[in-house]
Structure 1
C-alpha cells in the first residue's frame, strides 16, 4: 500500500515508459513505474533502428534503462499489473493484481499493444525468428531473400512498394479473398509479384526458420522469411475504464504532447501511435513526461503564488 501521493504513475515499462521515467526522475518527480514484464517485443531477439542500441535484445535494453534510471531515487519500479483505476486529475488511484494501491496526481499509460492469438498454424513458431511485422526493424536481415508477405487490401498495396526496398523476391499470400481492385492486381502483376488468395493451411519451419508456406489448394511457397500484418489490441483495458477516447484501430487519441481527452491522463508509445518502433516510443515518452512535468510545476506555482 502506497500512502504517499505520487506525482506520476507510469503504467508500462517499455521504451516509452522508461524514457518518461528518466525525464521525470531528472525533473525530481516522485514516480512509480508499474510493469508486468511481458512486452510484446519479447518474441524478438534484437531491437533495431535505435541509435547507439542497434541490435540490442529487448531484455538487455530494459536492464540498461533501469540501471540508468537508478541514478534518480525518486523513481521506483513495481513488478505487477495494474487492474483498476479511479479518480480525477490531481488524485488517481490504481490497484494492482497483487493487491497494491497507488495514488498519483497524473497517470501516463505506456501500455503498448498486444497481439491477438495468431490463427495461422505454424506462425507462432516462427514469429520473432523469421516472421516479422516491420521491415524497418527486421528488413535488413532478410535483404534479397525470398519472402512471403501475408497481407491484403489497401494495407498490402502500401506494404508491397515498401518491402521492395529490401527485396524484390517476394510472394503475396492473402489467406483468403485479396480485397484488391482489378487495377491493384494488375499493378502487382506488372511488378512480377505472385499473388495467391487460397487460405494458408500451415507454415513449415525448422528451429524457427520458415521453409515454406503451404496453402489449402496444395500450393507451396518456399521462402526464408515472412512479413505479416498482426491483429493488435490496446495493451490495457484501463484506458477505456478511465474514459479515454480510442481510435477505430485501437490506439488512444492523444495530442502532440501525449494528452488524452481525460484531464491528468497521458499516453505514449505504441498504445498512442501507429508508428510501432522502439525509438519512436521512447521519443513519445520523453515528450509526454516533459508535458506532465510542466503541468505539475505550473499547478504548484499557482497554488504557492
Structure 2
C-alpha cells in the first residue's frame, strides 16, 4: 500500500460481513482496505451450520476460503491489526491502529462484530460455542431430542422456548433466581411441559466443552446435553460511538434500511447491528452494504 493513499472505503472487521462487503466493492473496482485483528466472536465454535455450500465446515475454513477469494481482486487491500481510533476530517475519515499505523478513507464500514460477556459461572466459557449455544437455527439440529436447557429470563427465555420446543421434548428453563414470566407465559410453558427451574447456577460440569451436568449453588445437579444462553454483549469496536454513531436499546449500532448509521459516511453490518447472528446473515448484509456504498461513491463521480 502506498504511503498517504486515500481509500474509497475502509472496512473495520474482516470476518464474514467485512469480507462480503469487500468482495462487493472489489468487483466494482473500489479501492478498499480491510483492517482485521483476527479475533472473531465465533472462533471457539467447532462447526458452522445453516449456510448453503458450507454447512458443517469450521468457521475458520469458511473465512479462510472467503479471504482467499476476495484477495483475487487487486483493489482490495488487507491490514492485520486492531483499529483503535477513528476521526472524521472534513469529507474523509482517519483510522489509526494500535500499532501506530494510520489510514484515510472516504467511507467507513464497521463489520467489527460484538464481544459476548460471559457470566461468572465455572465452565460456562469453556462450553461456549460448543454445548452452550445461542441460536436454534445455527446449532439446534445437532442437539435435537437431547436434554436441553435455556439460560435466560422473561421474554427472551419464552421466545427461545417456543423455538427450541420444536427440537426436543426435554426442555428446562434455568432462570438462576426468581422467574419473571407473565401469568400467560407461565401457563403456556406448563401447557408444553417446559420446566422452569429457579435454582441458582454455580457450575457447568463438562469434558472439553461437552456439557454433562448443571451444578446448582445448593449442590444439586441436573443432567443436560446443551444449554441455550442469552448473554449480554458489548461492541467489539469503540470507534463507532467515538464518531457519534447511535446505538439502539439493545446495544446494536443503529442503521437504516441501507445500513447507514446516524453518522454520514459511516455504515455497519453483521453482528454489530443485527440480533440475527449467523454466517448467512452476515454475508448477506455485508454484500448489501458494499453495494450501497459503491452506489453512493459511483453516483458522486457520475454527477
Deviations for 1:18-53, whole angstroms, at most 9, x for unmatched residues? Answer: 000001000001111001000000010111111111
Q: Which residue of 2 aligns with 1:160?
A: 161
Match of 1:66 in 2: 67
2:142 is aligned to 141
- TM-score normalised to the size of structure 1? 0.96
Q: Which whole-Å CA distance do the structure 2 matches of 1:47 and 1:162 have between them?
A: 19
Alignment partner, residue 196 of structure 1:
197
Q: Report Cα offsets for 1:214-266 as digits up to 9, x if no partner.
A: 11233321011111112111111101000001112110111111111111101
The separation in 2 between residues aligned to 1:285 and 1:146, in whole angstroms, is 36
Instruction: Determine whether 1:175 maps to 2:176.
Output: yes
Q: Give the conservation status (yes or no) of the 8 Å contact 1:2–1:103.
A: no
Q: Are 1:22 and 1:69, in contact at CA under 8 Å, matched by a contact in 2?
A: yes
Q: Does 1:273 align with 2:274?
A: yes
DSSP-derived class of the 1:107 partner: strand
Matching residue of 1:99: 100
- Say which is worse superposed, 117-126 or 202-211, in terms of deviation: 117-126
Q: 1:21 maps to what in 2? A: 22
Please state whether the residue corresponding to 1:269 is helix, strand or coil: coil
Per-residue deviation, residues 107-140 of structure 1 (Å, max 9, x unmatched): 0000111111332221112112211111110111
The superposition leaves residues 35-80 of structure 1 with CA deviations (integer Å, 9 ceiling, x where unpaired) of 1000000010111111111111111111101111121011111110
CA RMSD of aligned residues (A): 1.3
Written as runs of structure 1 = structure 2, the 5 A alignment for 1:45-64 is: 45-64=46-65
User: Does the aligned pair in 2 maintain the 1:8–1:104 contact within 8 Å?
Assistant: yes
**Structure 2 unmatched ranges of 5 or more:** none
Regions of 4+ moved over 6 Å: none
CA contact (8 A) 1:88 1:263 kept: no
The 3-state SS of whatever aligns with 2:272 is helix
Q: Distance in 2 between matches of 1:88 and 1:194?
A: 56
Give the TM-score taking structure 2 as reference length: 0.96
**Could you list the runs of 5+ residues in structure 1 that have no partner in the other structure?**
none
Count of residue pairs brought into register by the alignment: 302
Structure 2 counterpart SS, 1:172: strand
C-alpha distance in structure 1 between counterparts of 2:86 and 2:37, whole Å:
16
CA distance in 1, matches of 2:7, 2:170: 54
